[in-house]
Chains A and B, each alone.
Chain A
C-alpha cells in the first residue's frame, strides 16, 4: 500500500467511522514518506561520476607522468571504497553501496588504463577477469542488489569485449557469473537480481552461439537450462523472475518463426543435427520436469510448448500453421493458468499473447487462405468460447471445492517468503 493511497483515502475512513483521527495519524506515522527513486539515484550518480572521471582523466591522460597516472587511479579506487565503507557505517546503505560500486568501476578502469599505459592491452582477457572476480566477491560481502546488478553488467561487458575484439569466448567469465551469482540467486532470489541475472546470462549464451558459429537454435539449450534452474528454486517469485527472460526469448523466436519461417531458406539455417539437439534439449526438459514435480509446479509445464522444435518441419505452410497452433496453445495455457490462480496480471499477459498470436495468424494466413472478415469472426468466437469455458470451469471448481481462500493464501505465503 502506497503512502499516497493512504493519504488520499484515510480521511474517508475517518468520515465513515472506520478509524479515528488518532488512528489515522498512527497509520500515517507508520508509513513515513520515502522517495522510491532514491534507490536508483546512487546507481545513476556513481555511473555518471565514474564516466566523468574517466573522460576528464582520459582527456589529460597523455600529459601526466606514468607514476602520477597510477597514483591517481589507485587514489580514486581507495577513495571510493573508503567513502563507501564510511557511509555504510553511518547507516546510509544506498549511498554506501553506490560508492562501493563506483570503486568497482574504478578498478576496471584502472586495469584498462594501466595496461594501456604500459602497452599491455592486447588480446588477453585475464586482466579483465579480475574485474569480474572482484564484482562477485563484493556482491557476496555486501549482499547488495546494486552490486549484483553491476557485476552482471560487468560480466556481460567483459564477455562482449572478448567476443568482439578478441574473437573468442571467455568460459571463465561465463562460469564466474553463472556459478558465483547463480549461488547468490539460489540463496537470495530477490526479484530484480533474478531477471537481471537471467538476462546477463542469456546475453553471454548468445555470444557463445555467435562465436561457435552454431545454429542459433542451440541458444535455447543454455537458455532453458537457466529456466530449469528456476524450477528448482524454493521461492516461486524468484523462480518466475529468472524464468521470464528465457521464456521471452523462446516466445520471440516462435513468433519470428511463425512470421518469417515459411521460406525454407530460413528454416534451414535453424536446423542443428536432429539427434544431439533433441537429446540436449530433452535432458534440460527432464531436469525441468523433475524440478517442477519436486516443487509442485506442474501448472507451468506448458511453458515448454514454446520449445517445440517446429523448425524441423518442412518450411512453408506446415511450419507456419504448426507454429501458430503452438502460439495459440501457449496463450491458452497461460490464460487457463491465470484463471485457475485468479491472477489478473497473468490474465492480461495471456490475453496479450492471444492477441499477438491472432495478429500473426492474420498477417500470415488471411491474405492467401481466408476472407479477412471471416478470420476476425473466427478469432473473436475462439476468444469468447475460451473465456466462456474458463468461467464455467472456474464456477465448477468453486462450487466443488469449498476453500476459495486457497489461492489467495498460497499467494500471500509466496510473497512472504520473498525478501523485499
Chain B
C-alpha cells in the first residue's frame, strides 16, 4: 500500500525534501518583503484622516491602533442590489478632496473602475447598523518605533493624523507613513 509517510520520510529523499522546504520558506519570506516594496513602488498613494486609539502590543513592540474617518460609511453610499452583510468583502471608491484627504464616494460589492484622482480600496464589513456600515481595511495597525506610539496616540487625541497609504495594482494596501499634521512630522 502506498504510504505517504514512508515515502516522505525515506532517508534518501529527506535531504532534497528539506532543501525544497527551506527554499520555499525563504522564498515565502522574501515574497512577503517583496510585496511590501512593490506596493510602495508601484502603488497609488492616498492620504486618510484618523484618530488612533489603544497603543502597545505585548509581544511585537509598539503599534498604534488606527480608526479612520472612512471606517464608517452611511448606508446611503451602498451601491449594491442586496443589503450588505457582516464579513462581506466590499470595495470603497475614494476621491481626493482639496485638502488632499481621500473621502468615500461609494461602497460597492464589486470593484468599480476609478476615475482620475479616484482610488479603490478593499474593505470588509464588520457591522451593519440601521443607517451606517462599519468597515475595516487591514490598515488598523501601524507598527511604530519604540515609544513613539504613545506620542502619536497623544497627538491623535488632539487632532486627526494623516495616514499615507499605498494601494498596489493587485489591491493590497499598506501604510507608507503616519503624519502628525498638527505638530509637523512625527
Contact = CB atoms under 8 A, between A and B. Distances in A.
Given A119-B36, A122-B141, A140-B9, A70 B30 contact: yes
A118 B176 CA distance: 8
Interface in B116-171: 124, 126, 136-143, 145-146
Given A58-B60, A61-B61, A184-B5, A119 B22 contact: no
Contacts of B36: 114-115, 117-120
A114 B34 CA distance: 10
A124 B39 CA distance: 16
A193 interface: no
Interface in B91-106: none
Interface in B55-109: 59-61, 63, 87
Nearest to A138: B21
B175 interface: yes
A77 B140 contact: no
Nearest to A134: B25
Contacts of B138: 122-124
B141 A121 contact: yes
Nearest to A140: B8
B33 interface: yes
A251 interface: no
Nearest to B40: A118
Given A58-B61, A123-B136, A111 B29 contact: yes
Contacts of B37: 118
Contact of B4 (A107, A116, A127, A140): A140
Interface in A58-100: 58, 61-62, 66, 70, 73-74, 77-78, 81, 85
Contacts of B18: 81, 85, 141
A171 to B, nearest CB: 13
A137 interface: yes
Contact of A141 (B8, B63, B142): B8
Count class of interface residues, chain B: 35 or more
A264 to B, nearest CB: 31
A141 B141 CA distance: 37
B110 interface: no
Nearest to A89: B15
A78 B28 contact: no
Given A121-B143, A122-B138, A124-B138, A187 B30 contact: no
A70 B145 contact: no
A118 B174 contact: yes
Contact of B22 (A78, A124, A127): A78
A116 B60 contact: yes
B35 interface: yes
A252 B137 CA distance: 41
Contacts of A107: 25, 29
A140 B3 CA distance: 11
A73 B9 CA distance: 27
A122 B142 contact: no
Interface in A120-156: 120-124, 127, 130, 134, 137-138, 140-143
A24 interface: no
Nearest to B126: A167
A195 interface: no
A120 B29 contact: no
B131 to A, nearest CB: 23
Sorted nearest first, the 4 A-B pairs with minimum C-beta distance are A118-B36, A122-B138, A140-B8, A62-B145
Interface of B: 3-5, 8-9, 13-15, 17-18, 21-22, 24-26, 28-30, 32-33, 35-37, 39, 59-61, 63, 87, 124, 126, 136-143, 145-146, 172, 174-176
5 contacts: A58-B61, A77-B25, A118-B35, A118-B36, A119-B175
